[in-house]
Amino acid sequence: MKLKDRVAIVTGSGSGIGRAIALGMAREGARVAVVDLNEAGAQETVKEIQKEGGQAHPYRADVTQKAQIDAMVADVIKRWGTVHILVNNAGWDKAEPFIQSAEETWDKVLAINLKGPIICTRAVLDEMIKNGYGKIVSIASDAGRVGSTGEAVYSAAKGGIIAFTKTIAREMARHRINVNCVCPGPTDTPLFATVTAENPKLAESLKRVIPFGRLGLPEDLAPAVIFFASDDAGFITGQTLSVSGGLTMM
């Protein structure tokens, strides 16, 4: 088991990629704080983990609200003694041409996808510094590396997270905290379904250009995140890995 007795916080793990990461980490022996705005989704993930004999606890918390995230982290430390792993996975987007998008949408996209991971990272750092150990993995997006039509502000947020990751990786290296990013390509999740709802042909055309000939699945992402969260990646920090069936190569 790669994460035996580790304590992990996975945001947005009531659905999609986050749920697959939470399940995968629990299978590797971690105790998982399943954090989501969607309480029913978080409870469902916890139920699935417990059915397999794993340990998890649901938290309803909004990554854009610092007080809620600080309280959640304090409760995790009280419950399981410490925190070793943070996965910044919660995300949201509304696909539309930039010139049609409203300022309220920009604010929401930046709050969830950029400020959310900043808030969550800050919330775990004191404990990780105290331990001289920590693993932070943020789920960015290939949109943040190569751009994505209809996702201008989301791309800006994801590119911001990649840059934030590199700087935190530099600042935290002396404390033996590894900080890395995983970038999904188009992945079949409820979020992706909302993006393709506007353009039903998009999924088919993406399949044609992805060298592996299919969309990603949440289960494709989890092993890469578990790798960065494990001691196998102990000398790797500040890196960005695309998991996209070859759609992006850089």
Ligand X SMILES: NC(=O)c1ccc[n+]([C@@H]2O[C@H](COP(=O)([O-])OP(=O)(O)OC[C@H]3O[C@@H](n4cnc5c(N)ncnc54)[C@H](O)[C@@H]3O)[C@@H](O)[C@H]2O)c1
Stretch that binds ligand X, among 86-94, 119-127, 173-181, 231-239 (CB under 6 A): 86-94
Decide: is 114 part of the binding site for ligand X (CB under 6 A): no
Tokens of 42: 């978080």
Rounded Cα distance between 43 and 133, Å, is 29
For ligand X, the closer of residues 38 and 55 by Cβ is 38
Decide: is 164 part of the binding site for ligand X (CB under 6 A): no
Rounded Cα distance between 70 and 181, Å, is 22
- Are 129 and 177 within 8 A, CB to CB? yes
- Are 11 and 116 within 8 A, CB to CB? yes
Decide: is 148 part of the binding site for ligand X (CB under 6 A): no
DSSP 36-86: ES-HHHHHHHHHHHHHTT-EEEEEE--TT-HHHHHHHHHHHHHHHS---EE
Decide: is 16 part of the binding site for ligand X (CB under 6 A): yes
Q: How far is the CB of 248 from ligand X (least distance, A)?
A: 11
- Are 48 and 31 within 8 A, CB to CB? no
Decide: is 45 part of the binding site for ligand X (CB under 6 A): no
Of residues 59, 80, 154, 192, which has the active-site annotation? Answer: 154
133 carries an active-site annotation: no
Tokens of 140: 């960015």
Nearest to 87 by CA among 48, 131, 37, 33: 33
Site for ligand X, residues 116 to 135, rule: CB under 6 A: 116
Among 3, 6, 9, 14, binds ligand X (CB under 6 A): 14
- Are 213 and 14 within 8 A, CB to CB? no
Residue position matching structure tokens 């808030």:
119
Among 3, 7, 23, 139, binds ligand X (CB under 6 A): 139
Decide: is 41 part of the binding site for ligand X (CB under 6 A): yes
For ligand X, the closer of residues 18 and 159 by Cβ is 18
For ligand X, the closer of residues 90 and 136 by Cβ is 90
Rounded Cα distance between 159 and 147, Å, is 9
Q: How far is the CB of 139 from ligand X (least distance, A)?
A: 4
Q: How far is the CB of 116 from ligand X (least distance, A)?
A: 6
Q: How far is the CB of 59 from ligand X (least distance, A)?
A: 9
Q: How far is the CB of 22 from ligand X (least distance, A)?
A: 11
How many beta carbons lie within 10 A of that of residue 201, not counting itself?
8
Catalytic residues: 154
Chain positions contacting ligand X, by CB under 6 A: 11-12, 14-18, 36-38, 41, 62-64, 89-92, 112, 116, 139, 141, 184, 186-187, 189-192
